[in-house]
Structure 1
Amino acid sequence: MSEEIHETPSTTPNFQTELAAQLAELMPEVIADGKVDVEKLKELLDGDAADSSERFGLFWPGKKRALRAAQEPTTATLRPDFENSKDWDTTKNVFIEGDNLEVLKILQKHYHAKIKMIYIDPPYNTGKDFVYPDNYKEGLDTYLEWTRQVNDEGKKLSTNADTEGRYHSNWLNMMYPRLKLARNLLTEDGVIFISIDDNEIDNLLKLGNEVFGEANHVATFIWKSKSGGANDSNEVAVDHEYIVCFSRSGTASALGLDPDAVATTSYNNSDERGRYALERLDKQNLQYSKSMDYELIGPDGETYSLTHRDPAQPNAIWRWSKDKVQRNMDQLVFKDGKVYTKNYEKPGGKPRSLFVDERFGRTRTGSTEVRNLLGGNYFDNPKPTKLLSTLVAIGSSPDSIVLDFFAGSGSTAHAVLAANARDAGSRRFIAVQLPEPTPEGSDARAKGYDTIASIARARIGLAADSLDSEGLAGNDGGYRAYVLAETNFSKWNVSSDIDRNELEQHLFDLRESSSADDASADDLLAELLLKQGYSLTEQIASVDVSGLNLRSVGDGIVLAYLNERVKPTLEQLRGVVDADPARLIVLEDAFQGDDQLKTNLAQLCKSKGIELWTA
């Protein structure tokens, strides 16, 4: 029967186990007694393995622990927050309140390789920044005390002062696991933009090279953040910040055109499709691939192959695959023994590395935007939407998902709404923000904004309303709000180092129920869908079938019975099966120990080709 019933996983993916499974598939001989034989792996790699005694790379205290933090699965879930949502039933946007490390793990199941663009504005490590916790269960108050951000009276202190012995290491330990997880979410042609200043630019570039690959460093943009008068340095007035860009894979064109840039290419050729410039099909200094090194026959019957390379050290490949060449021969030009592609003129131009024009905005521009929307100075130095709109334009396409897991005041979400208004796109955003409290006595607290997350939600809603009032709104100005929470299922919420007496009590409690008493059907469903690989914006409705109240997902593709207190009859379950969902989810406790009822349901589902899942 176990083959006919699918058990919902209790945690997010275990990346260590999955990596070992991939190794076992590629090289089964390196697996011995269920473990990876590292010496055998080195033997097979032979000359490709580096000498462990002399290595090039970025190393710091705590790096191994930071990596484990990324790999460690979590049982945490996201609880729907209907009260703080906007247009819950129709929106495809998401706002999540909680620690971003845990949230990034939760997003892995469904959003793996689905995010086209990530933008983050992390703490710059100036000595005054809030450094994120890596254990949300301890609670924000406990975390603030533990990191000495507040004293015994609760007064906030400087967090990661440069007098600390591991000043840079603390920041790297915070960033490393988050970037590792973020990379998994990017599409093959996806990109990440990271704002930073001089404090950590050097370490960020090295860290990015390690996580994404040095060949995937697209650019480091320089943004003129101030308009003069800067007095924050004894020696030099610093007027700029950096935006570091890495791509998921260097094999695809990472960035699009900047729609407001002036094109510098000379389009001195034309055909029926318009004006175009010629670009060499062969590309130097790319990672060599044998499949991209081939001969092709031109319309003149001549054979063309890669040139100007040392056969012993190939360093050139064709930019297009052989199949793509065959499909697009009309886009090739054979001239003077070389092959060119037609680069057609498009609106805008290639992004430039210097963001110095007023069109990119300044720090004060972002502050003014928030003040105009919310009516007060509630946030320090938010990024202007003018800047982020440019990044959204060059880093995403009109149907992309854009993620910001250091959401701050919600500038990225605002920029996504503005981009959709501009080009009638359907981009969706996912914004993640820790519930960092606003300062006591601040204007924000006086206006009822207790956390940075509450400011961001208000800002996003008002930005959508503002665009709508100007007749510029896109088709989605809402967002579904979620809050990071512990699992709703008691049986999944057990630490590996639990005391024996506590374990006995836990098992005793499970006789009564395996789900939390205060968990609603919507809470349970959200967790089950996430852990089974569904998105955060599935269409959900309450339906009655054969006298049972169920949740319908995607117009009945999934049906879920989540009432553990009312045991369904076999006839009622037969009626549910006759509704013919692709998947049926039933809480284990709903069977109330009746294994025969569970077996009969499994057989009914099998006869109809329905997947039966329990939890």
Structure 2
Amino acid sequence: MIKDIITANETVTPNQKELTVLRENFPSCFHADGSFDMVRFSEFLKDKIDISHEGYELKFIGKNYAKMLASLDTETVIVPDETHNSLPENANSENVYISGDNLDGLKHLLKSYAGQIKCIYIDPPYNTGSDGFVYNDKFDFTVDNLVEKLSIDEEQAQRILDLTNRGSASHSAWLMFMYPRLQLAKDLLDSEGVIFISIDDNEQGNLKLLCDDVFSETNFIAQLVWEKKKKGSYLANAVTNIKEYVLVYAKRKELFDGLIGEINSEVETYPCVNASNGRDIRIIPAGIESKYREKNFKLNAGEIISDTTMNLVLHSDLIIEDGILAQELRIEGNWRYGQEAMTEYASNHEIYITRDLYLRRIVKEPRYKGLKDLLLRVGDNNESGYSYDVNGANLQKSGWGSNEDADEEQRQLFGEQSLMSYPKPVLLIMKLLSCLQKQELTVVDFFSGSATTSEATMRLNALGMKIKTICIQLPEDLDYKYKNSSGDDKANAKKLISFLDKNNRPHTLDYLGIERLSRAARRIKVDNPDTTADLGFKHYTLAEVTQTTLDKIEKFDNSGFVTDTTVYDEFGTATILTTWLVHDNYGFVNNCAMVELAGYTAYWCENHLYLINPGLTEEAIKALVEKYNTDGKFNPQNVVLFGYSFNYVEMENLKTNVKILRDSEKNLKINLDIRY
């Protein structure tokens, strides 16, 4: 298990994954000393493709280091949240939420899901300098290690270590962070699969080159432009950006089905109010709920309120009493809503005043309910005339959600504003997934954040689709962040900690996503009482093996007659079994069953029988042999042992009986696999 992986990782070099593919498919191009014959390889290819001697690629500090990280196996184990997973709403769910480093998570997923995922959506850190991104590497390499493994000099090795060990936020550090994750993501996609990546201007150019390198520029589908807000700041002294991007790459473009979208502009599925762009006075009736910083507050007429979007001029006193606007208010500014609409929304209690005195409407009918019309077109778009290519489309013009929508979703779900900074709106993810023309698919998001992708798939499933999700989120320690940050970062961490405390959740960021999904599921069920959609999820944590356990593994000796179960006790059956099932290509959703053998419990999943628990008696081994001989449906060809659970006598007894089964008249082909 872990010991085997650690031993294998010691020999890993950059391009290990690529070399393995070449050895499997072109063994004759390798010499006896292991060197690769490029001339002979070219001879294989010259009749099939044009060979160019010109090169163009993205280069950055640590690229070979990043490739090596992609080739290293993960040394973590998968710990199931047994209490959560056994709840009625989760017990049969096929959705997965993983708490852990996404580099480790992707490596686990590849063991079961390589080449099977239809869609990946990620919203990675943008490396803006204010989004908290720094390279945080847990690998303990030395200069000498890197000199040997990467064939570089000491100066280059030290520069790489400086990026990894000192928390760099440079472009090279960001590229080194993203490269192995995209490499692994590519291997997850099936031949018809696609990846959507959200990004802004800061790393957009680098990400495009990086994706061209990893996925090939021939598989580039589109760079979609998403308008995250309707207008920029009036106070900015430079160009303000209201757009972000979604890069789209296919695994194999020639097999990709393309994207569809809404082209019937005569059918408006979302409520839309035309806003005035002039500096008009609006009258806000008394009684409007206020989210202002103070529950009781007063500003005098004539004062100017500086807002990030506009200057608001008060033409009457602003008086807030007990969180409610106490009297009618007249404000001059640039308004999203006309007076008639504003009065209507106020009478319906659909407007509140934000903390910065901006008016916001409470959307009681979320935009994503309008997606039903789009979903009806999926599958028969060729006949309905709705098919079109959204390449280059502006994703705001047809209602793809905005930052304001995302904030409103948080307010409705959490009862507070902006628990997460700059989350994506649910509608954006729903529409991207709907445009794939697939009624059934599995979606992976390994930068889960506040779990927007998972909520989006829940809502799509409530509308009739069948989407499974696998999401990964780093369990960032919010207590540590609060103690070691300042300004807005410190305030945001405090706000998150307070929210998690109120809901009896641990102080790690992954539990915000867990809480969101639980709340979203309840709300969707209320809105759709007859739905049979899968609104639950299984939760797993990726755990690093402690140094204490590693020391026990190193000292372990099973040559005696007494079984030393201390290593087994460190892991437990559930963790070992879950890790192995994923490792052996059975995934998180499988048909694993318990098998009783004279009081000993083994675990059987298709072609594997797992012997994990200590206490494998002679009677249990006899019962196992009997089951092979008499049960025609029982024929697992791999008997897998957790080596730390058995002593020498038990091992030898099992080996002897497996040999007898192999040599019997039934000629059973049984492989005994002892894992450490």
What's the TM-score, normalizing by structure 2? 0.66
Q: How does 1:147-162 map to 2 (within 5 A)?
A: 160=169
Say if 1:131 and 1:174, in contact at 8 Å, map to a contact too.
no
Identify the residue that residue 332 of structure 1 maps to in structure 2.
none
Hey, what's the Cα distance between the residues in 1 that align with 2:120 and 2:130? 25
Hey, what's the Cα distance between the residues in 2 that align with 1:121 and 1:348? 27
Q: Does 1:375 align with 2:400?
A: no
Which digits, 9 at most, give the CA deviation of each residue in 1:12-36, with x for residues without a partner?
A: 9979555434323443332112513
Hey, what's the Cα distance between the residues in 2 that align with 1:190 and 1:506? 42
Q: 2:469 aligns with which of 421, 429, 436?
A: 429
Hey, what's the Cα distance between the residues in 2 that align with 1:168 and 1:574? 60
Q: Does 1:242 align with 2:295?
A: no
Which digits, 9 at most, give the CA deviation of each residue in 1:226-268, with x for residues without a partner?
A: 122436853112111000100000111343423x44399xxxx
Give the letter aligned to residue 471 of structure 1: N
Identify the residue that residue 157 of structure 2 maps to in structure 1.
none
Hey, what's the Cα distance between the residues in 2 that align with 1:231 and 1:383? 24
Identify the residue that residue 335 of structure 1 maps to in structure 2.
none
Which digits, 9 at most, give the CA deviation of each residue in 1:454-482, with x for residues without a partner?
A: 00011112112111111174521111111
Q: Greater CA deviation, 530-539 or 600-609?
A: 600-609
Q: Greater CA deviation, 82-91 or 38-47?
A: 38-47
Hey, what's the Cα distance between the residues in 1 that align with 2:669 and 2:528? 48
Say if 1:179 and 1:211, in contact at 8 Å, map to a contact too.
yes
Q: 1:200 aligns with which of 199, 203, 226?
A: 203
Q: 1:82 to 1:115 in 2, by over 3 A?
A: same
Q: 1:129 aligns with which of 125, 128, 131?
A: 131
Say if 2:600 and 2:615, in contact at 8 Å, map to a contact too.
no
Identify the residue that residue 68 of structure 2 maps to in structure 1.
68
Identify the residue that residue 417 of structure 1 maps to in structure 2.
458
Q: How does 1:30-429 map to 2 (within 5 A)?
A: 30-33=29-32, 35-40=34-39, 44=43, 50-51=52-53, 55-85=55-85, 87-131=89-133, 135-136=137-138, 160=169, 167-230=170-233, 234-258=237-261, 260-262=262-264, 343-345=382-384, 349-351=388-390, 353-357=393-397, 359-377=399-417, 378-395=419-436, 397-422=438-463, 424-429=464-469
Give the letter aligned to residue 421 of structure 2: D
Which digits, 9 at most, give the CA deviation of each residue in 1:549-593, with x for residues without a partner?
A: 233447xx6543321244343323224434543424333355521
Identify the residue that residue 325 of structure 1 maps to in structure 2.
none
SS in 1 for 2:648: coil
Identify the residue that residue 563 of structure 1 maps to in structure 2.
613
Which digits, 9 at most, give the CA deviation of each residue in 1:91-126, with x for residues without a partner?
A: 101001111111111111111011100000001110
Identify the residue that residue 527 of structure 1 maps to in structure 2.
579
Give the letter aligned to residue 480 of structure 1: K
Give the letter aligned to residue 66 of structure 1: A
Identify the residue that residue 506 of structure 1 maps to in structure 2.
554
Identify the residue that residue 269 of structure 2 maps to in structure 1.
none
What's the TM-score, normalizing by structure 1? 0.72
Q: 2:625 aligns with which of 571, 574, 593?
A: 574
Say if 1:488 and 1:524, in contact at 8 Å, map to a contact too.
no
Give the letter aligned to residue 411 of structure 2: R
SS in 2 for 1:463: helix
Say if 2:643 and 2:674, in contact at 8 Å, map to a contact too.
yes
Deviation at 1:514, TM superposition (A): 8.3
Say if 1:222 and 1:241, in contact at 8 Å, map to a contact too.
yes
Identify the residue that residue 27 of structure 1 maps to in structure 2.
26
Q: Greater CA deviation, 519-528 or 388-397?
A: 388-397
Question: Among the aligned pairs, what percent are the same residue?
Answer: 27
| Residues paired across the two proteins, number | 498
Larger radius of gyration: 2
SS in 2 for 1:199: helix
Q: 1:250 to 1:349 in 2, by over 3 A?
A: closer
Say if 2:96 and 2:471, in contact at 8 Å, map to a contact too.
yes
Q: 1:125 to 1:614 in 2, by over 3 A?
A: same
Say if 1:91 and 1:476, in contact at 8 Å, map to a contact too.
yes
Give the letter aligned to residue 424 of structure 2: K
Say if 1:568 and 1:591, in contact at 8 Å, map to a contact too.
no
Hey, what's the Cα distance between the residues in 2 that align with 1:466 and 1:243? 29
SS in 2 for 1:408: coil
Give the letter aligned to residue 62 of structure 2: G
Say if 1:376 and 1:443, in contact at 8 Å, map to a contact too.
no
Q: Greater CA deviation, 221-230 or 539-548?
A: 539-548
Q: Greater CA deviation, 402-411 or 12-21?
A: 12-21
Identify the residue that residue 286 of structure 2 maps to in structure 1.
none
Deviation at 1:612, TM superposition (A): 4.7
Q: Greater RCO between the two (CA within 8 Å, min separation 6)? A: 1
Deviation at 1:88, TM superposition (A): 4.0
CA-based RMSD of the aligned residues comes to 3.6
SS in 2 for 1:218: strand
Which digits, 9 at most, give the CA deviation of each residue in 1:247-304, with x for residues without a partner?
A: 000111343423x44399xxxxxxxxxxxxxxxxxxxxxxxxxxxxxxxxxxxxxxxx
Hey, what's the Cα distance between the residues in 1 that align with 2:93 and 2:134? 29
Deviation at 1:417, TM superposition (A): 1.0
Give the letter aligned to residue 598 of structure 1: K
Say if 1:193 and 1:243, in contact at 8 Å, map to a contact too.
yes
Hey, what's the Cα distance between the residues in 2 that align with 1:403 and 1:597? 41
Give the letter aligned to residue 642 of structure 2: L
Q: How does 1:575-590 map to 2 (within 5 A)?
A: 575-577=626-628, 578-579=630-631, 580-583=633-636, 584-590=639-645
Gaps of 5+ in 1: 1-5, 150-158, 161-166, 265-341, 495-501
Hey, what's the Cα distance between the residues in 2 that align with 1:189 and 1:478? 27
Say if 1:8 and 1:531, in contact at 8 Å, map to a contact too.
no
Q: 1:605 to 1:462 in 2, by over 3 A?
A: farther
Gaps of 5+ in 2: 141-160, 267-380, 483-492
Q: 1:465 to 1:454 in 2, by over 3 A?
A: same
Q: 1:510 to 1:200 in 2, by over 3 A?
A: farther
Q: 1:346 to 1:81 in 2, by over 3 A?
A: farther
Q: 1:31 to 1:366 in 2, by over 3 A?
A: same
Identify the residue that residue 277 of structure 1 maps to in structure 2.
none
Say if 2:558 and 2:646, in contact at 8 Å, map to a contact too.
no
Q: 1:7 to 1:125 in 2, by over 3 A?
A: closer
Hey, what's the Cα distance between the residues in 1 that align with 2:17 and 2:659? 29
Identify the residue that residue 360 of structure 2 maps to in structure 1.
none
Q: 1:536 to 1:244 in 2, by over 3 A?
A: same
Identify the residue that residue 143 of structure 2 maps to in structure 1.
none
Give the letter aligned to residue 580 of structure 2: L
Give the letter aligned to residue 481 of structure 1: H
Q: 1:7 to 1:531 in 2, by over 3 A?
A: same
Deviation at 1:131, TM superposition (A): 3.4
SS in 1 for 2:569: coil
